[in-house]
Structure 1
């Protein structure tokens, strides 16, 4: 068993709760309210700048030129496909209900769980010597593998994804189970499994799983 699978098994309860969270299940079923989807997407955009900084920092610290290219490809993906989806979906939701932008103004509204996650990412993206390559790539893999697993599980489970699902839901699912995203997660997992010191990355894995679950909870609470 590789380090990555060992980590998942060690914290399987919280990890699985994140993968099976009601928010993503309702999103796949097309029953998640526009309010909850708006909160979820606008809060998720708060991570964008910090996430890119962390990828850049991770690539800089990486000892493999091939791996550096892998990180670069992912920056292109989230800067284009994912960012385009955010803009389009949020605009659609505001056109359906303009009051969402007033009640959940992304400039002023931030649940405590989101603030805690932002604080964690701010530290991860800080000075180069603050965190190791092993810790940073473990963070990147943890957050992405949760998304890959819930999206693939939905696509492979009969009835989990509603027929004729509206694009505001379906495109978000598709972005997280397309071949290039799965290849990126596999690449990150390979990098995690290259590491030998579990003690160095155990805490960052556990904290990231907790933060991802907390993020889903915070957004779902506002349904």
Structure 2
């Protein structure tokens, strides 16, 4: 039986496929992302962490089950440790100036995604937060989980892939989708429609974020 998460991804259709099959994805697996594109990508992506952690905090606060709160708290710890450390090492390897690491000029997709995460958090509705969080993690697993792909030599490319296709991350995305399915099944039609709106907007912004790297 199709769950709520499958339904939302099917509705995302073209935007989901365009993001997960993007030129950037092909190039990062090949290890051929141009340094200036990788700098643009990482400096902009790093600006999501603050709002993302705040959204995880909202999920912890509004979850209806204690085990769900624990799972989100554990994931927040990973984001603020392993992933944050990768960013700092990658910035060093790419010689990114301190000011650009901390406060780059934000692009339209970055501002849009920050605003969406803030809006979802301020809604105070667990299902809305789940919708945005699921896109952010599931879409990345979908593009990174290429069976039998050979990793590129440069850790800047390789570790960004392995951060998003390891067994722990895969298990978290599976759990997150299940949580979205569970919460979606309990919501009324209006609640489902509202969450769907967040999901679709998040997918469109993910596609725009990849696209803008080459503009």
TM-score (norm 1): 0.87
1:139/1:205 contact within 8 Å kept: yes
- Once the two structures are superposed, what CA deviation does each residue of 1:112-170 show, in whole Å capped at 9, x if it has no partner? 221222222222333xxx241011011101110000010002xx155xx45x5211110
Q: Answer yes or no: is 1:143 the counterpart of 2:100.
A: no
User: Which gives a bigger RCO, structure 1 or 2 (Cα 8 Å, sep 6+)?
Assistant: 1
Pairs within 5 Å for 1:136-215: 136-153=129-146, 156=147, 158=149, 161=150, 165-194=153-182, 195-196=184-185, 197=187, 198-215=192-209
Select 1:132's aligned residue among 125, 128, 133. Answer: 125
Length, aligned pairs only: 208
Selected match of 1:114 from 85, 110, 113: 110
In structure 2, what is the Cα distance between the partners aligned to 1:141 and 1:122?
A: 15
Map of 2:33 onto structure 1: 32
The CA deviation at 1:105 is 7.0
- State the distance in 2 between where 1:31 and 1:115 align: 27
Distance change (3 Å), C-alpha of 1:91 and 1:2:
same
* Structure 1, unpaired ranges of 5+: 95-99
Contact 1:17 1:213 in 2 (8 A): yes
Deviations 1:170-222 (A, max 9, x none): 0110000111111111111011111224323110110000111111112233x
Query: Could you tell me whether the CA contact under 8 Å between 1:114 and 1:218 is conserved in 2?
Result: no
Q: How far apart are the structure 1 equivalents of 2:178 and 2:101?
A: 39
Shift of 1:43: 0.5
Q: Give the counterpart of 1:218 among 208, 212, 215.
A: 212
Tell me the equivalent position of 2:5: 4
Looking at structure 2, the residues matched to 191 and 83 of structure 1 have their Cα atoms a distance apart, in angstroms, of 25
Cα RMSD for the two superposed structures: 1.9
Of residues 29-38 and 115-124 in structure 1, the stretch that sits farther from structure 2 once superposed is: 115-124
